[in-house]
Amino acid sequence: MINATIQLPRFDASFNKAIKNEIRARINKHITGITHRIHARLAPIITARIQGTLEYQSLFGGQLQAELGIPNPAVIDTIISVWASNFSVKYNSSGRSFGSLNIGLIQDDYTDVLTLPEASFFYTSGNTSGVIDWLRWLLLEGSSVIVRSYGFTGDTTRGSRTGLGVMIQRDGLQWRVPPEFAGTASDNFVLRALRTIDKDIDQLVQEELDKGL
């Protein structure tokens, strides 16, 4: 989970109780609109950051699309749209000063995206069939071996779904997410994309507070 907590401004102790109450009243009156505008402005920033990753680019005709076998890589945009809308911006009025804004970006368990139909696909190959949980593999499996007795080849003459290569069966082979793209629950391409988003959040929160209050 990525969280950002923005403390609202403190004011000099010389401010009397009446002025503080007036400020609190203004915050309570306008905070809903402020949080909605922050959410609306932050969503495209999240989208752009994730779409700027090497993983995203590799899903479109690159190594990840080839090895994961994703026939329609545009499904990642549906998944990103969930990340870009499913985050929270909440005002917490408790505590000292005038409260804080709490922004939670990514769910710890990733269930909001892993349960999407776009997160996996059904395949048939010869006499075998099954489900490819490609998003879970990419986000959570790290360097673990996922498929045994199979390996990837760039040979495109064997009925590839993507036209970029196929998995071949051979004793001793094993397949895992390519190490440069491998992710875990605490370190994957989405979290890496958003690690430095605090500066963007600070700026737009300040702008919306200045306009709203």
In the chain, where the domains are located = 3-212
Helix 198-212, helix 17-51: angle, nearest 10:
140
Task: Give the bridge partners for 122, in sequence order.
Answer: 131
Q: What is the pLDDT of residue 14?
A: 58
Quote the CA–CA distance of 136 and 177 in Å, as a whole number: 11
Closest by alpha carbon to 205, among 20, 3, 1, 5? 5
Residue with tokens 């609306």, as numbered in its chain = 40
Q: Which two tokens stand for residue 121?
A: 């696909």
Q: pTM here?
A: 0.83
Question: What CA–CA distance (Å, rounded) separates 187 from 102?
Answer: 22
Instruction: Give the per-residue pLDDT at 186.
Output: 96
Residues 168 and 151: their CA atoms lie apart, in Å, by 5
In whole angstroms, give the CA distance from residue 69 to residue 80.
19
Residue linked to tokens 């076998």: 69
Residue in 110, 120, 78 with CA at minimum distance from that of residue 190: 110
Question: What does 126-157 look like in DSSP terms, one character per residue?
Answer: TTEEEEE-HHHHHHH-TT---EEEEEEE---S
DSSP H or E stretch at residue 104: strand 100-104
State the alpha helices, DSSP H only, in the chain.
Answer: 17-51, 54-58, 63-68, 75-83, 111-114, 134-140, 189-194, 198-212
- Give the max Cα distance, the chain: 79
Each residue's pLDDT tens digit in the chain (213 positions)? 666 666 666 656 555 577 777 877 888 899 999 999 999 999 999 999 999 999 999 999 999 999 998 989 999 999 999 999 999 999 988 766 778 889 999 999 999 999 999 999 987 766 777 899 999 999 999 999 999 888 888 777 666 777 777 788 888 889 999 999 999 999 999 999 999 999 999 999 999 988 877
